[in-house]
Amino acid sequence: MKTIKADLIRKRKRRIKNRLQNSAAHDRGHPMLKGDKIAYELAQKAGGTAYGGVAAIHRFAKKIGLPKRIDDALHLFKIHRPYHESDHVLNLAYNALCGGTCLEDIELRRNDESFLDSIGAERIPDPTTAGDFCRRFDPYHINRLQDAFDQVRLDIWQQQDNAFFDQATIEMDGTIVETTGQCKEGMDISYKGIWGYHPLVITLAETGEALRLVNRSGNRPSQEGAAEQADTAISLCRQAGFRRIVLRGDTAFTQTIHLDRWHRAGVKFTFGMKAYPGLVDIAENVQIDAWKQLPRSPKYAPNTPDRDRPENVKEQIVQLRGYPNKRLTSEWVTEVPYSPTDCKETYRLVILCKELEVTKQGRLFDDCLYFFYLTNEAGDVLSTNDVVYASNDRCDQENILAQLNQCRALHAPVDNLESNWAYMVMTALSWNLKAWIGLSVPINGRWREQHKQEGRAVIRMEFKQFVEQFVRLPAQIVRSGRQLVVRLLSWSESLHVFNRWVRFALE
């Protein structure tokens, strides 16, 4: 095994740091971007690729048994001539990792000799063949593929420290996947008036992984099928050994018919509740002294000295044009015991009141909005305020959906509901690989805390940043003896983390 020497990384980092620090001291008399004489030529023997990290990612995929798990779970071909099922699945995932935005971008990788050498392939499926592979799936096979991913996921989770298993927070949400196609089977018009599909996404808040993804017609309600998928995720987390399992979702996912069952099973939950008239009546009849003001911590702690806040341009325009303007003045919170219609148990109903000042070229009136949260968490575990904060934290799942959009997992390039579902699941693997790599960054020695933070930083990276730091690494590809040498040609900010992870991947 041969990896990058740490002193080379430090030397390259020092070199670029000195270059940036020492180059701003004087006026050169000409623009900085002056350019030089250049000449282009095509190398006759040496090869290179812009995606030097793909070789390590593929080696990591083999190390964690991903291709074998896929081939054991899927049997879509009678004859493998020449591709196996895992070749197709990884082909779509690697296309997303290399910045591919559509099936046609696979052709760029297919004609890149150095890329093919990086993953040890003579050839990869072309875009048409990849689309045909997606059309072979039915719901049974898609669920089998997701089960295969779960087996890999469990193996990686088992390598984590004891604190990792303190809590698993399972979050549910639906999102609209728009399509301009007119002949895509299964699409429909959503409540927003958008044509397309309405996939359900189940994620794990602690790592950002997509645990389950189910494609549905565009006009289906958000909560359809969510309870069954939540049960699958609960079973997976129990199998992994998590000591606490928490379900979170917005108002659409408060499926009261399932709450007692989850409560008896020891599953905790915090769901939003719609502001039904009956709940608003409860809120308005709460004693005044039962309300407490909700404190909010600053969004961030600035590292620079305080400076004058710039003028609010939006508010100026609203006032100038005489639009009604609502401004939050304070937040108050309380809780009452509550038993939903479909439940026999009594739970905590936390009520948040937002006091608003409504103006329109002068003050009009004060208003208030009520938000409701239902939970079975004990008060000594989650205080009234903490229930609100935990529900607000659920908004991070919106960021995960945005990242799945960024890696093109929430798109519909194929021709029907099942084939697009299969495409979504396979492309979302690229996002999950990022989380698995972050969980696999070695933690050892006296730098344990720093290594843990670096691994966590990889997990929290946006997809684009991960691609830039771990995948899009310009490299020369050299065949030496019986091994492939990937010679990185530039330094990147996370190269020291990449190097430690590569040592694990190549073991």
Over residues 267-282, mean pLDDT? 95
- By residue count, the chain amounts to 507
- CA atoms of 38 and 29, how far apart (whole Å): 22
- CA atoms of 274 and 223, how far apart (whole Å): 14
Pair 409, 96: CB distance under 8 Å: yes
502: three-class secondary structure by DSSP: helix
* 187: nearest Cα among 398, 414, 406: 414
Pair 320, 276: CB distance under 8 Å: no
> Residue 3: what pLDDT?
67
Count CB-CB contacts under 10 A for residue 450.
11
Mean pLDDT, the chain, rounded, equals 91
> Residue 364: what pLDDT?
64
Over residues 314-326, mean pLDDT? 81
pLDDT band at residue 391, thresholds of 50, 70 and 90?
very high
Pair 113, 158: CB distance under 8 Å: no
Pair 205, 197: CB distance under 8 Å: no
pLDDT band at residue 311, thresholds of 50, 70 and 90?
confident
Query: Residue 452: pLDDT above 80?
Result: yes
Count CB-CB contacts under 10 A for residue 260.
17
pLDDT band at residue 361, thresholds of 50, 70 and 90?
low
- CA atoms of 328 and 40, how far apart (whole Å): 60
Query: Residue 200: pLDDT above 80?
Result: yes
Residue bearing the bigger pLDDT, 105 or 483: 105
- CA atoms of 423 and 134, how far apart (whole Å): 6
Q: Report helix angle 139-157 to 66-73, nearest 10.
A: 150
What are the residues whose beta carbons fall under 8 Å from the beta carbon of 226, sequence distance 6 or more? 172, 200, 202, 249, 253, 255
Structure tokens at 254: 């408060």
Kindly tell me the number of DSSP H helices and DSSP E strands found in the chain: 18, 15
pLDDT one-digit tens code per residue, 227-240: 999 999 999 999 99
Strand order in the sheet with 475-480: 47-49, 475-480, 483-488
Place of tokens 């609100």: 388
> Residue 298: what pLDDT?
75
Count CB-CB contacts under 10 A for residue 383.
14
* 207: nearest Cα among 173, 169, 177: 169
- CA atoms of 230 and 238, how far apart (whole Å): 12
Residue 500's Cβ-side half-sphere holds a number of Cα atoms within 13 Å equal to 19
Structure tokens at 434: 């990022």
- CA atoms of 181 and 194, how far apart (whole Å): 12
pLDDT band at residue 305, thresholds of 50, 70 and 90?
confident
Pair 200, 229: CB distance under 8 Å: yes
Pair 253, 222: CB distance under 8 Å: yes
